[in-house]
Amino acid sequence: MEKILVLLHTESDGSICRGGLESLNASLSVKTQLAESELVIGIVGNNVKSAVSNIAGCGAKSFVAVEGEQFDQPRYCTDAIAIESIMKAVKPSIIIAPATIRWNRVVPGAAYRVGAAADTHITGVLIKDGVLKASRWYYRQRIEALIHRTQRPWVLLIDSGVFKPYSGVPADAQIEILNVETPETAVQTRVIGYREPPVGHQTIRPDAKLLFVAGAGWTKKQADGKVHIEEAEKLILDFLNLTRASLGSSKSLVDIGSEGQAVLSFLSHLNQIGQTGSTPRHPKGLATCCHGEEPHTVGWRFINERRAINLDPNCGWARGKADVLYVADAFAVMRKVNELFSGSIGKKR
């Protein structure tokens, strides 16, 4: 019989983040398929009561928490102590946790303290012949492996965006609060604030329905023999503001910036999609002024519907990489698209 521990942490406002709720749903599906398994929720943070009340109806057998001000902030030392204490109290065989920035840093280390095996970047869980298996990608999203382990405890850190988030009616739940000592040496690190990009420059939106990719073509000489960086910036930013799409980039475009050439000011390497960039999940994607070479398009693996705008009818997108290729000038197309969007939004208002 497997004893499943769902390991969560609260946010500073006392909620559980979307990734945490997704991991809870993943755990519930494992529990349903594994006969006689039981599910326990372990939670770390301050004011865990309100967080627990939102998931109280999930069918967990019990709720165990490490609570206190010192567990509010993400800090390796205190988080590791809290996780170790929960694992020792619950004695689970399977631990499922969200791959949040906070948990990714600390959960594998805490797992080591209790002799557990840990696997990160899990993108699926399934039961086959009564055995729990987990899937994850290797070699830059090119090989998908289905893994299982006989070692217990086994920790699985679930990537976000794979499962639907749990939602249930708030209810009361009994919470067992563990008495955990934190030595003074464990609280030397303090989070003194968060630095975020200025408002209006937040271009990466993982939940957006559309991924808009800008390629190096936006910075190249156009038909009139001139570059039009300012117009390119305006067209792209206007489109992002109108549609709330997420902005991706080709490697060439972000590299141009680091080589000192004119480049779109709001781009960084974080926007890069592809083999050496990210592999985001959006229902739709639109590539503009991007050639569609394999190292780039491999990052589109999880984009369901793909379109591209390129002047070159022989670009990579035309060779099976896109569902629709518009052989056209992206400046002209995006100008018209923005005009249509602002018109329709204006009418709605």
Ligand X SMILES: Cc1cc2nc3c(=O)[nH]c(=O)nc-3n(C[C@H](O)[C@H](O)[C@H](O)COP(=O)(O)OP(=O)(O)OC[C@H]3O[C@@H](n4cnc5c(N)ncnc54)[C@H](O)[C@@H]3O)c2cc1C
- Per CB under 6 A, residues contacting ligand X are 215-217, 220, 222, 250-253, 272-277, 289-291, 293, 295-296, 299, 309-312, 315, 329-331
Do 117 and 65 form a contact (C-beta atoms < 8 A)? no
Query: If you write DSSP's letter for every residue of 209-243 in order, what string do you get?
Result: SEEEEE-GGGGS--TTS---HHHHHHHHHHHHHHH
Strands 124-128 and 131-138: antiparallel
Nearer to ligand X, 30 or 253 (CB): 253
CB of 345 to ligand X, least distance (A): 25
Which residues on adjacent β-strands are paired with residue 272?
249
Q: Which of 183, 177, 252 is nearest to 214 (CA)?
A: 252
* CA distances to 4, 10, 58, 175 from 62, in Å: 11, 17, 10, 7
Nearer to ligand X, 67 or 293 (CB): 293
Q: Which of 70, 112, 63, 128 is nearest to 89 (CA)?
A: 63
CB of 261 to ligand X, least distance (A): 12
Nearer to ligand X, 9 or 321 (CB): 321
Phi, psi of 22 (to 5 degrees): -65, -40
Nearer to ligand X, 38 or 255 (CB): 255
CB of 209 to ligand X, least distance (A): 22
Nearer to ligand X, 130 or 313 (CB): 313
CB of 157 to ligand X, least distance (A): 24
Nearer to ligand X, 127 or 229 (CB): 229
DSSP letter at 266 equals T
Nearer to ligand X, 75 or 321 (CB): 321
CB of 202 to ligand X, least distance (A): 21
Cβ atoms within 10 Å of 309's Cβ, excluding its own: 26
Nearer to ligand X, 38 or 329 (CB): 329
CB of 327 to ligand X, least distance (A): 9
Helix (H, G, I), strand (E, B) or coil at 309: strand
Residues 6+ apart with CB under 8 A from 261: 219
Do 297 and 277 form a contact (C-beta atoms < 8 A)? no
CB of 143 to ligand X, least distance (A): 17
Phi, psi of 16 (to 5 degrees): -110, 135
CB of 137 to ligand X, least distance (A): 15
Q: Which of 251, 212, 260 is nearest to 235 (CA)?
A: 212
